[in-house]
Structure 1
Amino acid sequence: MSQTSDGDGLLIPISEHDNIQGTIDAQIVLVEYGDYQCLSCGEVHKMIQEIQQQIQLCFVFRHFPRIHIHPQAQKAAEAAEAAAAQNKFWQMHNLLFANQSALNNGYLLEYANQIELDLDRFLRDMTNHVHTERVTQNIQSGIQSGVSSTPALFVNEIRYRDAWDIERLITAIAQARNSQSM
């Protein structure tokens, strides 16, 4: 695939390989490319959690660690995928965002223990970088869709480019929902 986007459309469709909350056939599908060490992503994480309390939507998180700026982001993404392999992606995802300044190996192991992962399997996955390819696939899909920084959001496959403000994001979601029902 040599296709790349002008940055306004999501080129790689959602699949069963994605980390998904909600149902894929929801009226609103929100895709985020994020980095666990990115403070703006942490703020957007809180906004999305608040929006999910108000609006039924499908939320997809894809990894986009910016390791040149955030040295722990790749390991954190791999830890989230190691948790996903044990059906606990969202628990790890939330812990990583809640503890953005504490993402080194010792903390990642502590979080794995906190959400009751099989620690031997988690350590094996992390040591052998079992989930590196999955994270790389997310990065590549982001690049193809024009992502170069985080956070990057797509509402119904259209890039959200307004301010990182909950009211504006809710307005963009409402507009997407209204255009769906026409």
Structure 2
Amino acid sequence: MSLKPVVSHTDHAQGNLDAELIIVEFGDYQCPYCGAAYPVLKELMSQFGSQIKFVFRNFPLSEMHPYARPAAIAAEAANLQGKFWEMHDAIYENQIDLNENLLIKLAEKLKLNISQFKEDLENPALAEKIDSDFESGIISGVNGTPSFFVNGKKFDGAAIDLIRLLEENAE
């Protein structure tokens, strides 16, 4: 399966934005497997971040994970204040306590403008961005989280396998 649509300026990206190697994660903030992949991906970025453009797309499995979508909206709201990755990381680092109140606490900890943040949580454009990410996952053949794509092709492996792949290429 290949990634549709391709990575663009509307995606959340970090690392080397001009890198030839593009890794896309479809993630759910409440998914325990995404939570387990998170520290591995942090390690991947600390080792190989200069060689990778890492992209996160929202894929909240709302029926199983009632806080996944509110968390995704909170990350998108933080993005409007330039703190997407900070909120993304904070949610995964506090995943065990994830609920609506936690999202406000994290926004406070990140020193976001709270009244703006709360207003942005209701912004329909944020819900549309999440729906658009989710749609992209569906048409790209994502059937669970986390799902990874490497240079537009579905990667059949876990986050740890991405590190192995990069280590092999580095040798």
TM-score scaled by length of structure 1: 0.86
Q: Is structure 2 residue 6 aligned with structure 1 residue 42?
A: no
Aligned match of 2:46:
53
Output the amino acid matched with 2:57. Answer: R
| 1:74-153 alignment runs, 5 A limit | 74-153=69-148
How far apart in 2 are the matches of 1:61 and 1:128?
Answer: 20
Which has the higher mean CA deviation after the structures are superposed, 168-177 or 30-39?
168-177
Write 1 or 2 for the structure with the bigger share of helix.
Answer: 2
Q: CA RMSD in A?
A: 1.8
2:70 and 2:77 map into 1 onto residues whose CA distance is 10
Question: Contact 2:29–2:91 (CA<8 Å) still a contact in 1?
Answer: yes
Alignment of 1:12 onto 2:5: yes
Structure 1: runs of 5+ lacking an equivalent: 1-7
**Is 1:170 the counterpart of 2:152 in the alignment?**
no
Structure 1 position 24, deviation (Å): 3.5
Query: Would you identify which runs of 4 or more consecutive aligned residues in structure 1 move more than 2 Å?
Result: 22-25, 127-130, 170-178
Distance in 1 between residues matched to 2:8 and 2:170, nearest whole Å:
21
**2:30 & 2:103 partners in 1: Cα distance?**
13
Distance 2:105 2:112 in 1: 10
Letter of the 1:105 counterpart: E
Q: Contact 1:33/1:62 (CA < 8 Å) preserved in 2?
A: yes
- Following superposition, the deviation at residue 128 of structure 1 comes to 4.5
Cα distance 1:36–1:102, how it changes in 2: closer, same or farther (>3 A)?
same
Whether the 8 Å CA contact 2:31–2:65 is kept in 1: the answer is yes
Note the residue ranges of structure 2 that are not aligned, 5 or more in a row.
Answer: none
Aligned to 2:21: 28
Contact 1:27 1:177 in 2 (8 A): no
Alignment: residue pair count: 169
